[in-house]
Structure 1
Amino acid sequence: MISRRTMIAVGALAAAGLALSGCAAGNSGQSDGKTTVSLLVNVTPNLTEDWWNDLVKPFEKANPDIDVKIQNPGAEGVAAAVPRLLAAGEAPDVVESLPPSTELAPELVDLSTYDWAKNGPLAEQYTIDGKYYMAGIGMQLQSLWFYNKDAFAAAGIAETPTTVEELSDDLAKLKKAGWTGVQTGGDWMSSYALQTVGLPTVVGQHPDWYQKMSDGKLTFSKTYGDAVDEYADWIGKGYVNDDALGIKYADAEQNFLAGKSALYPMGSWFVASEAAATTPANIGVFRAPAFDGVKQPAMGANIASPYVIMKDSKHTEAAAKLVEYLVTDKTAILDQLKVDGNYRAGYEYDMGDLGKELLQIVTDTPDAAYTPTGQGYGERTLPSGYSTEINAQTQALLGGTAPSDVNTAMDDWFSANLK
């Protein structure tokens, strides 16, 4: 799955920057007796430079000897800016929105000695060789089904499904009642519904699925095959909108918000779209179920606002103080969660009913259930290009390709791309 936010690691960093670990950090130093700590951040229409400066003001007030310099990466974004800054010998002290990868880890400070890093959201899932290189403030959930409550009522569905089999039965009832069941689209969206069907079971049964797939110890057809078959059955029975390949993400979202479909597989950021809509449909959300018999369905999730400290920093102690503040101060955490529509158990901000339903899912989901989605993160990664391939094969499925052919194609792809 692909998050709407910039949550991908930088493979290009290996070539651009790993040989430069001895370069001096050019963006931090002493000014007016203060230590200047540079913070490279993701700047968006809601995460403005002014917002970031306001976020760190209380920290600067509490630490008058530290000045935080917000760095805007501009149009190139954080992921592209980091290797460029490394090559220029101007590595920032702290980077936000760039989770660690095996390529990036040699450039990062090991945060394993800090309890606030080890005890944060998804901390264990993002470790590399047992080391903690990042700390985050919350999470984006991905294994979710948003649903039209009025459609469910019209179809006589009183409870949300708890297994894939129940979900399939509900789709049959929705079709009989005249509803388009699953709203999906083309581009990166194509594989989203399939992964929402598959991952809760696949990783629920094989917690080390990512590692074993990369080692060739498991196969796609043997682990994911049932989900591919099930989704193909939905397509064949008309449970999925038949114009999916021609629908863009924004249009798919608007169709669901307008009440033109009954179910929408999407990440937790959709809650912000629902809250901003003028007259949205009556929408609820439930956790993506697994096939019957899976005791603990996996929950796809990404870290929200991961912070890392660059090894080139000359002020790692001050940088660590800043990161600790950003990921432990309750007001700072709530400000960050709210502005980007993210969630964390025990942290409730002003949100609508749909947001509260999602927060309850976060509260009820055990830490052990969380899993990467798509190509993965930390040590749980698949061969490069997986997200593109699963998307292409799902588009083939939507176009009428037999599920057995899709499973064979995915097996062949893994065989050709094993690490």
Structure 2
Amino acid sequence: MIKGRHLTALGIASVASLALAGCATSAPADSDEKIELSMLVNVTPNLTEEYWNDLVAPFEKEHDNIDVVIQNPGAEGVHAAVPRLLAAGDAPDIVQSMAPTTEIAPELVDLSEYDWATSGPLAEQYTIDGKHYMAGIGVQLQSLFFYNKTAFAEAGITGTPTTVDELTEALGKLKTAGWTPVQTGGDWMTSHTLQTLGLPSIITEYPDWFQEMSAGELTFGDTYKQAVDTYAEWVAEGYIPKEALGIKYPDAEQAFLSGKTAVYSMGSWFAGTQANAADSADIGVFRAPAFDAGSQPSMGANIASPYSIMKSSEHQDAAADLIEYLVTDQDAVSSQLAVDGNFRDGYEYEMTPLGEELLAIVAETPADAYTPTGNGYGERTLPSEYSNELNTQTQALIGGTSAQEMLDAMDAWFLANAS
């Protein structure tokens, strides 16, 4: 999954001078020149080095003058490795899994001349000053509630909620039927549930919420009040157990998978987890409902596997050819979608029933209905450390802080941090 970590201003400043090196001479992929392309990638239990090498092997076979070298960032991760490598003058040609921000954009090649970059998934949402600095393979949906179908049936719930009021009513029925209504936990999960509850409707009402919050033109207290009040109600009614704060992410995931809880807010990558589980409850999914009946809430989403070219690369044309292959080739895209539980309309792979439900959500979501979550991306970003502060204050809400106290604390934080 893509987590909301960002390059620090200090890290970028330390390498800003290297951007002036700019566009070095670049041989196209179909030339006779022997080219070594380095690609820094996210390595996980699913995305192993072996997987990455197998993924680029067909491209190398078609371009026998190119050797793609997979770089593993190790424990520090891609985002931490990039400024270090730039400062050392050893930057890769291509970086995978690093969403462009205004801080890193000066170090990246503008890909706006390529149709495969400008027309790809979430392409417009990730632009900076109208320029395209990345191309991705699909989307990771964020604004989702997974649910235990057995629990819903036992509680007499016959349809999935389409409004927040319907969801709250369903949670009450689940509690009465003896179920733990909401599965959440400590770590970053706590505020994920709040964002799933509130952000889709907030963005529908305030499309420029990220920019206006950063500029101090809107307040958290006004825009998030309905969501925070509802979340506090869920805590007070016992729909969110107070002991959830002591639950780690893997344990929360396993508790829901094994059928111990009823509703779980998580990103679409959970479908990949469920597909690989030895045993799983009967699980479905619905998009985050709207506060107002009849309105279509936005859908929080991140780009899946963004690829960017470093401006310091001496082989930019060849790098562009490789990225084009990775984000358009049917087999390459489908493989990447499947391995990490991501989705793209028109690129199907063998899916579980849960995966098919998610693909249907992707197919029915207009391209302009997606929104960032957390600190944001592209030009829609919030002050650094917003995600951490929101998580801290949401955990305080579970621990006994009132809704108004949380809203006041977040307003004070934005007052101190917004530009």
TM-score class, shorter-chain normalisation, is over 0.9
TM-score (norm 2): 0.95
Equivalent residue runs for 1:362-381 within 5 Å: 362-381=362-381
Give the match's secondary structure for 2:415: helix
Rounded to whole Å, the distance in 2 between the matches of 1:318 and 1:70 is: 15
Number of the residue aligned with 1:79: 79
Number of the residue aligned with 2:279: 279
Rounded to whole Å, the distance in 2 between the matches of 1:89 and 1:294 is: 54
Is the 1:25–1:92 Cα contact (8 Å) retained in structure 2?
A: no
Equivalent residue runs for 1:6-405 within 5 Å: 6=3, 8-11=5-8, 12-22=10-20, 33-293=33-293, 295-405=295-405
Question: Given the superposition, is the C-alpha separation of residues 45 and 278 from structure 1 closer, same or farther in structure 2, using an over 3 Å criterion?
Answer: closer
How many residues align structurally?
415
| Residues 164-211 of structure 1, C-alpha deviations (whole Å, 9 max, x = no match) | 011011111111111111111112111111111101111111111000
Greater CA drift, 217-226 or 7-16:
7-16
TM-score (norm 1): 0.95
Rounded to whole Å, the distance in 1 between the matches of 2:71 and 2:279 is: 38
Identical-pair percentage: 64
Rounded to whole Å, the distance in 1 between the matches of 2:23 and 2:218 is: 44
Name the aligned partner's letter for residue 18 of structure 1: A
Name the aligned partner's letter for residue 353 of structure 1: P
Shift of 1:66: 2.5
Greater CA drift, 327-336 or 290-299:
290-299
Is the 2:4–2:375 Cα contact (8 Å) retained in structure 1?
A: no
Shift of 1:279: 2.3
| Residues 257-306 of structure 1, C-alpha deviations (whole Å, 9 max, x = no match) | 12111100011111122122222111111111110146220111111110
Question: Given the superposition, is the C-alpha separation of residues 233 and 24 from structure 1 closer, same or farther in structure 2, using an over 3 Å criterion?
Answer: closer
Give the match's secondary structure for 2:414: helix
Rounded to whole Å, the distance in 1 between the matches of 2:121 and 2:193 is: 25
Name the aligned partner's letter for residue 161 of structure 2: P
Shift of 1:160: 0.1
Structure 1 gaps of 5+ residues are none
Number of the residue aligned with 1:407: 407
Give the match's secondary structure for 2:373: coil
Give the match's secondary structure for 2:224: helix
Name the aligned partner's letter for residue 198 of structure 2: G
Shift of 1:58: 1.4
Give the match's secondary structure for 1:263: strand
Is the 1:301–1:373 Cα contact (8 Å) retained in structure 2?
A: yes
Greater CA drift, 261-270 or 15-24:
15-24
Shift of 1:222: 0.8
Number of the residue aligned with 2:2: 5
Name the aligned partner's letter for residue 399 of structure 1: G
Name the aligned partner's letter for residue 75 of structure 1: A
Greater CA drift, 39-48 or 123-132:
39-48
Rounded to whole Å, the distance in 2 between the matches of 1:170 and 1:74 is: 44
Give the match's secondary structure for 1:326: helix
Rounded to whole Å, the distance in 2 between the matches of 1:149 and 1:286 is: 11
Name the aligned partner's letter for residue 9 of structure 1: H
Question: Given the superposition, is the C-alpha separation of residues 307 and 182 from structure 1 closer, same or farther in structure 2, using an over 3 Å criterion?
Answer: same
Structure 2 gaps of 5+ residues are none
Is the 1:216–1:418 Cα contact (8 Å) retained in structure 2?
A: yes
Give the match's secondary structure for 2:242: coil
Rounded to whole Å, the distance in 2 between the matches of 1:110 and 1:370 is: 23
Give the match's secondary structure for 1:262: strand
Shift of 1:311: 0.6
Rounded to whole Å, the distance in 1 between the matches of 2:190 and 2:85 is: 35
Shift of 1:128: 0.6
Supply the RMSD in Å over aligned alpha carbons.
1.9
Greater CA drift, 61-70 or 242-251:
61-70
Name the aligned partner's letter for residue 7 of structure 2: V
Rounded to whole Å, the distance in 2 between the matches of 1:319 and 1:258 is: 44
Name the aligned partner's letter for residue 194 of structure 2: L
Shift of 1:98: 0.8
